[in-house]
Amino acid sequence: MEYRINENLCQAKLSIIRRITDLALADLGPKERAVLFSSGQPADEAIPTELVRKYTDRLLDAYGSEMLQYGGHKGYPPLFPEIRKFLNKDGVVARAEDDFVITYGSSEAIFAMGSAFIRPGDRVIVENPTYLNATNSFRYCGARLVPVQTDSDGVNLEALEEAMKKGASFFYTIPNFGNPSSITMSLRKRKAVYGLAVKYGIPILEDNPYGYLRFSGNEYIPPIKSFDEEGIVFYMGTFSKIVAPGMRCGFLCANREVIPKFVVFKGVSSSGNINWSQYVVTEFLREVDIDAHIARISGIYEKKARTMYDRMKECFDPAVEFTMPQGGMFIWAKLPEGAEATEFCLEAAQKLRIAVVPGNDFFIGSPRSCGYFRLNFSKPTQDDIAYGIEKLGSLTRKYCRG
C-alpha cells in the first residue's frame, strides 16, 4: 500500500553521522581496518562499567521487582535532589523555583521542547553551525530555523538581537564546547544573551552536554541558567557523557510552573522513564566523588585530543586549519577555500575506511560548498587516532593541492 506519512517525517533524513559511519563500515573485509571519528560517544575507558554492575546488583537486592516496574512520568523522585546538588555544586544553577523532568538523554528533552513550543512555521533561533540532531528535531516539529552567526567567543549579539526582534519560539544554544565548533560562550556574552531573552520575552534552551569536559583554558563559566530570575531559561543536562550514553538519562530543568506540561508530554510520548538507569544514576551521584570522576574523564580526553591535534599537525597538509580544543569531544577542521569537505569525507569513508563528518549539515541551509569537517577524539583509541589521522593526512594533501 501507499503510506501517507507526514511531510515533516518524509523530509527528515538519516543523520549524516549515521550515513558516513555506515559508509565506512560497508562490506568491510575481514582484514580491513575502519576507524570512526564520526560519532560523539564517550571513551569506553571513561564508562564506569564496574560501578554500573555493582549498583545494579545492590539495587536489585534492595528494591527487587519494584526497580523493574513502571517509573513515574516525571521521573524517580530520589534522583531530583541529587541532580540539584550536582547542578549547584559550582553555584546556584537550579533555583528554588525550578523543577525537573527526567528524559531519555538530552535528545528527548530537545524533542519535548520542540513539541511543546513550536507551532508549524514558528521561528526557532539557533547558533550557526550547531548540533544537527537538534535542528532535525526542531524541523520535524515544524520550525523555520533562524541561524545566527557565531564568533570565537559565542553567538554574535547584534545578529541575535536582530533575530529576536522578529520573535521566536526559543533560542537554542550550546554555550560550552559547541557541537561541532567547540566554541565556548564568554561570561559577558552569556549575561548579554540572558538580557536579550528577557527583553524580547524569548525562552532560552540551554544545552550543556559538554560543560564538565573542560581540560584546559579558562576557569568554570556559569551557565546562563544561573542568572535566570525570570524562569525564561530551560536547561538540559545529561548523564550520557559523564556516566554512559546507554543510561539514556537526561533531564530538563525549568521553572516549576511549566514542568507539569513536560510531565504530561512524557506520559503521552513514552509512559515515563526507565527505572533501572535512574536508580543507578542516583546511586552514582550519591556515592562517587564527582569532581574526581570528571577530572579522570577529562584527563583521558585531554590526552586523546592532544594525540589527535599533534598527529594532525604532523600529517595534515598545512593548509588545513584547526585549533587544539580546551574540552568537549571534537576538533573542527577546515580545508582551504575551494576544497569540498563532503567529497573529502566520502572519499575518506569509502577508500580509507575512516569516518569523519562533513560540516555542511551542521550549517542551517546546508551550504553546498563547505570546507569544514568534524573529528571526534573521545571514542577512538590512541592507536586508532594515530593510524586514522595518518591515513587522512595523505588525503588532505590531495584536497589541498587545489
Site for a second copy in 209-248 (CB under 8 A): 230-232, 240, 244-248
CA distances from 189 to 161, 201, 272 (A): 12, 18, 36
Contact 20, 339 (CB under 8 A): no
Of 215, 222, 237, 144, nearest in space to 185 by CA: 222
Query: To the nearest whole angstrom, how small is the minimum distance from the Cβ of residue 192 to a second copy?
Result: 18
Q: Contact with a second copy (CB under 8 A): which of 20, 36, 102, 105?
A: 105
Q: Work out which of 130, 182, 184, 275 binds a second copy, going by CB under 8 A.
A: 275
For the CB of residue 60, give the shortest distance to a second copy in the complex, in Å.
5
Q: Please pick, from the candidates 29, 31, 32, 65, the single residue that binds a second copy as defined by CB under 8 A.
A: 65
Nearer to a second copy, 22 or 151 (CB): 22
Binding of a second copy at residue 267 (CB under 8 A)?
yes
Site string for a second copy, 175-214 (x = CB under 8 A): --------------------------x-x-----------
Which residues 6+ apart lie within 8 Å of 102 measured at CB? 71, 74, 75, 76, 79, 249, 250, 251, 266, 273, 278
Phi (first) and psi of residue 124, to 5 degrees: -130, 125
* Neighbour-count burial of 397, counting CB atoms closer than 10 A to its CB (0-12 exposed, 13-18 middle, 19+ buried): middle
CB of 126 to a second copy, least distance (A): 15
Residue number, 44 or 321, with CB nearest to a second copy: 44
How many chain residues bind a second copy (CB under 8 A)?
A: 77
| 305-331 burial code (b ≥16 CB/10 A, e <16) | bbbbbebbeebbbebbebebbbbbbbb
Beta carbon of residue 291, minimum distance to a second copy (angstroms, whole number): 22
Strands 123-128 and 171-173: parallel
Beta-strand (E) ranges in 105-260? Answer: 123-128, 144-151, 154-155, 171-173, 204-207, 233-238, 250-255
Per CB under 8 A, does 96 bind a second copy? no
Do residues 210 and 175 lie in contact, with contact meaning Cβ atoms separated by under 8 Å?
no
Give the residue with the Cβ less far from a second copy, 285 or 352: 285
Q: Using the minimum distance from each CB to a second copy, give the nearer residue, 245 or 371.
A: 245
Give min distance, CB of 50 to a second copy, in A.
Answer: 8
Among 25, 34, 82, 133, binds a second copy (CB under 8 A): 133
Instruction: Identify any residues that bridge with 144 across adjacent strands, giving them in sequence order.
Output: 123
Q: Name residues contacting a second copy, limited to 1-60 (CB under 8 A).
A: 1, 3-6, 9-10, 12-15, 18, 39, 41-42, 44-45, 47, 49, 52-53, 56-57, 60
